[in-house]
A and B are shown apart, each in its own frame.
Chain A
Amino acid sequence: MTNEELKTFITAQVPEAIFEETQYLNITVPAEKFYSLAKHLRTDSSAEFDYLICVTGVDWKDSLMVVYHLQSRKHKHVIVLKVKLTDRVNPKVDTVSDIWRTAEFHEREVFDLFGIKFNNHPDLRRLFMDDTWGFPLRKDYVDDVTIVQL
């Protein structure tokens, strides 16, 4: 599908979706509609995004964001799904680890580094650090011992 066709396809599912075309097609969707859209993108034969490339957490200071890069091996198209989470204290988004199993590890990494919780995740534990550690990739993370400010 071309980007225009993808836009129509996604708008039919999530009318609130915000589009931005850069290198790939970027789609920002609300957290509550994210899971159903992801499932639809995976299973519908005209989209068939069967390959989750990477899951990234981003701290925008006033909000947090989870970015999913998806690729379809059949149609050779790549899109970027973004979910913005305004709640910094208790950010939550549904897991997609039952759709793409690689997400289990990637989401654990995002939880470890940003403290974003994934609902229904089968095994949401810290991946690199122990439980008492803060969330180091957040912009407000302070560590006087191990981070040297230049």
Chain B
Amino acid sequence: MRPNEEIEELLESKEEDFVINIGPQHPSTHGVLHLKVKLQGETVLDVQPHLGYIHRSIEKMCEASTYRNFIYLTSRMDYLSAHMNNQACSMAVEQGMALAIPERAKVIRILMSELTRIASHTLWWGALGLDLGATTPFFIGFRDREEIMDIFEESCGARLTMNYNVPGGVMYDIHPNFQKRVHTFLVNFKKNLPEYDQLLTGNVIFQSRMKGVGVISAEDAISYGCTGPVARGSGVSCDMRKWFPYDGYEGAKFDEILETGGDCFSRYMVRVREMYESVKIIEQYIDNIPEGDFQAKTKNVVKLPKGEFYSRVETARGELGVYIISDGSMKPYRVKFRSPNFSNLSALKHMAVGGKIGDLVAIMATLDLVIPDIDR
């Protein structure tokens, strides 16, 4: 629990506070995040995030792009969940067009989403180890991620900003090698997954740096608008794939992972266990991709009727909301992205205050922040 009395005591002692700047160029902030941290000794008294170092105003740029083009900008928000970002935008546009997408496209989207989720979690896992001073996890994480990147490269033509989703389905059909390569990946990955537990999960030093650190209760997690593994680590059920199933997720058989600790270790365990669940979903669908079109027929120029459209998907970091206000023209009047990292970051102060400065790095690592998603 947060030792409130201790903090108040320290605040009253009126000694000169020590303020340090972490970032904008710091390996543990995973991007250009700037934190002003007020310290007394090693105890964190206050954390102030300073944002905007990579703010490109994607929302403003969207207002100048057509409904087909603005989707590609969103790959640059949370670049580790590029596929889900594109999917959320496509879904909002499809909702405006009242367009039903073919079954084949739905299954391809699910497969790609879950591969993206695994790729994102493996990268997070490697970077987490690196943040805490272990170098090996980074290589292990990247080894598995590389295989997924190759699969993406073959089917989507790109490794990171895939731009594979378009209104109506996906841009191209999957590569003939896709199923074979995913099968090979699954065999390797299932063999490798126990290594993740051997290297970090069961490690005593790792556990002592994770357990009881950065605790956030379920009520606070809801109040701070946390979603994704951050909220699920506090026992808050919030998986959009279960709450409001989209694009065929209603048929997917998987469990929503919940941990009740609310500390860094719980958030860690949620993500590690989620990788097993994603493997389950991929195994369910990889041999059952329905035949048919991969894209519904659409007009070249997409125009949405006057109105408002909101779509929600579960990215690797939480709930992404895309809110489109249309005035009936070819371009959106206003686009708002409710990004998961933005809300998760607002809980950082609550988690870090009262702890030690070394724990701040562990907390940031388990929040899994992607800065371009916060700054947009």
Contacts and interface: CB of A to CB of B under 8 A. Distances in A.
Given A50-B222, A56-B336, A102-B223, A137 B307 contact: no
B346 A102 contact: yes
A128 B52 contact: yes
A58 interface: yes
29 contacts: A23-B95, A23-B308, A50-B222, A51-B222, A53-B338, A54-B323, A54-B336, A54-B338, A58-B325, A58-B334, A69-B310, A69-B323, A80-B308, A100-B225, A101-B220, A101-B346, A102-B225, A102-B346, A105-B343, A105-B345, A106-B343, A127-B51, A128-B51, A128-B55, A129-B52, A129-B55, A136-B60, A137-B60, A150-B64
Interface string B51-65: 110010101100010
Contacts of A129: 52, 55
Nearest to B52: A128
B79 to A, nearest CB: 19
B321 interface: yes
A58 to B, nearest CB: 5
Interface in B157-181: none
A41 interface: no
Contacts of A26: 308
A94 interface: no
For chain A, which range describes its interface: under 10, 10 to 19, 20 to 34, or 35 or more residues? 20 to 34
Interface residues of B, number: 35
Contact of A128 (B64, B223, B375): B375
Contacts of A67: 323
Interface in B319-376: 319, 321, 323, 325, 334, 336, 338, 342-343, 345-346, 350, 375
Contact of A100 (B60, B223, B336): B223
